[in-house]
Amino acid sequence: MGFSTKAIHAGQAPDPTTGAIMTPVFLTSTYVQEELGKDKGYAYSRVSNPTRTALEQNIAALEGANEGMAFSSGMAAIDAIMHLLQPGDHVIMSRNVYGGTYRIARLVWEDFGLQFDFVDTSDLQQIERVIKPNSKMLFIETPTNPTIEITDLAGSAQIAKKNKLLSVADNTFATPFLQQPIGYGFDIVVHSLTKYLNGHSDMLGGLIVTSDKAIAEKLRFLQKSVGGVLSPFDAWLCLRGIKTLAVRMKQHGENAMQVAQWLMKQKQVSKVNYPGLEDHPQHEVAKRQMCGFGGMISFDLGSYAAATSFLKKVQLCALAESLGGVETIITHPATMTHAAIPPEQRQKIGITDGLIRISVGIEDVEDIIADLNASLNT
């Protein structure tokens, strides 16, 4: 079955009692049992809910994994993954993971005895260099946020395997439409559903997939024990959004390529980060492991003053946190999404005061470019 067919049908058989083609929103906390010890597969909605199950099966199918677990946010999902570790364990993370992931690592998990090294995982040697006897997990994001660096999925999974590290990929930016890390050897893939998978900026959610039975069992246990589960209504919204994932991702990619090429020609722009551009340092890796380059671009205007003046003028492009919706969203990472990262660390990883991140939407690309042009050149 092709990707679009799976996106529309996987996990969603017509409702057996009514024939409803859409999976109903099962707004119920509990389920009546026929007799003691005999239920219909559902007992309590923190443990499982049919609408949530449909979404979990759908995304597992899209990622080429066996099992999925949905959470109330991307951060709740990432937090559940960290519960697989023990105090004293060491984690190697991409140096510019999502700002919230960096924050919870430094300000929450370190207090519970986990240790972290943040390295440039686009350079595989840097991963190997920090591996210690207590290293237990490799956690990567590719493309990274907001400097759009690419990590070699096959190469990094191989290093993890060789060193017995649990490998985790945050696939939020790419989505399974563009790349499927499980197929490259990753143990776990995590998503913020809030972004491209739902795609309509109207819910918050997270999801983990894996094909490893033992890991799935532990994660399911954590899901019901900790309880940060996705609501049935949000699961339904996300199922609805995913039906158009393929067409959306194609358009995001087409628009982003045109915006990136236009940005390259602007004299005020000192740098454009987009893996579809031939001068991107990991363009070849991106071409090999992704079937498109996505909708995320960042570019540098050289100074905080230039960035503020530009962001004050944009009209169509919404100045906001988040990404992956049908509408174009523009962000100043240093003061918005990545404000939790100390200034020195930000400089080191390329999040300069002049850096702008743009989540290119699926509006008419001429209108997006016209807005950028008016904001940059008047």
Ligand X SMILES: *Cc1c(COP(=O)(O)O)cnc(C)c1O
In the list 170, 234, 300, 371, the residue contacting ligand X (rule: CB under 6 A) is: 170
**195 in catalytic set:** yes
Is 357 annotated in the active site?
no
- Smaller CB distance to ligand X: residue 81 or 306? 81
For ligand X, the binding residues in 298-317 under the rule CB under 6 A are none
DSSP characters over 100-167: HHHHHHHHTGGGGT-EEEEE-TTSHHHHHHT--TTEEEEEEESS-TTT-----HHHHHHHHHHTT-EE
Active site residue 346: no
- 273 binding ligand X? (CB under 6 A): no
Question: Which string of x and - marks every residue 181-220 that binds ligand X (by CB under 6 A)?
Answer: -----------x-xx--------x-x--------------
Say if CB 42 and CB 58 are below 8 A apart: no
Three-class secondary structure of residue 169 per DSSP: strand
Q: How far is the CB of 112 from ligand X (least distance, A)?
A: 19
170 classed as catalytic: yes
Catalytic residue among 6, 79, 95, 98: 98
User: Which residue of 55, 61, 75, 238 would you call a contact of ligand X, by CB under 6 A?
Assistant: 75
Please provide the DSSP assignment of 27-41 as one string. Answer: --SB---SBTTB-SS
Stretch that binds ligand X, among 94-102, 218-226, 227-235, 306-314 (CB under 6 A): 94-102
**Does residue 371 interact with ligand X by CB under 6 A?**
no
Residue 357 lies near ligand X (rule: CB under 6 A): no
In whole angstroms, give the CA distance from residue 196 to residue 249.
8
- Amino acid identity, residue 126? Q
- Which position among 136, 195, 248, 346 bears the catalytic label? 195
CA 254 – CA 293 distance, rounded (Å): 9
Q: Across the strands, what pairs with 206?
A: 71, 192
Q: Does 6 contact ligand X by CB under 6 A? A: no
Tokens 């080191």 correspond to 348
Q: Does 332 bind ligand X (CB under 6 A)?
A: no
In the β-sheet with 67-71, what is the strand arrangement from edge to edge? 67-71, 206-210, 188-192, 166-170, 135-141, 90-94, 115-119
Q: In angstroms, what is the minimal distance from the CB of 377 to ligand X?
A: 30
Cis peptide before 146 (omega within 30 of 0): yes
How many whole angstroms separate alpha carbon 325 and alpha carbon 53? Answer: 24
228 binds ligand X (CB under 6 A): no
Segment contacting ligand X by CB under 6 A, of 109-117, 151-159, 165-173, 325-333:
165-173
Q: How far is the CB of 251 from ligand X (least distance, A)?
A: 20
In contact, 141 and 102? CB cutoff 8 Å? no
Interaction with ligand X in 128-147: which residues (CB under 6 A)?
141, 145
**Which residue has its beta carbon closest to ligand X?**
74
Q: How far apart are CA 308 and CA 176, in angstroms?
A: 34
Tracing tokens 């984690």 back to the chain, one arrives at: 91
Q: Which stretch binds ligand X (CB under 6 A): 69-77, 147-155, 208-216, 352-360?
A: 69-77
Position 26 contacts ligand X (CB under 6 A): no
Rounded Cα distance between 153 and 184, Å, is 6
Does 79 bind ligand X (CB under 6 A)? Our answer is: no
Q: Which of 170, 300, 353, 371 is catalytic?
A: 170
For residue 331, state whether it binds ligand X (rule: CB under 6 A).
no
Q: Which range of residues in 98-106, 214-222, 251-259, 260-268 is near ligand X by CB under 6 A?
A: 98-106
252 interacts with ligand X by CB under 6 A: no
255: nearest Cα among 281, 269, 274? 274
DSSP H/E element including 230: none
Q: What's the min distance (Å) between Cβ of 337 and ligand X?
A: 8
What is the C-alpha separation between 120 and 127, in angstroms, rounded?
Answer: 8
| Residue of 39, 46, 161, 243 marked active site | 46
Q: Using CB under 6 A, list all residues that contact ligand X.
A: 73-75, 98, 100-101, 141, 145, 170, 172-173, 192, 194-195, 204, 206
Residues with a catalytic annotation lie at: 46, 98, 170, 195
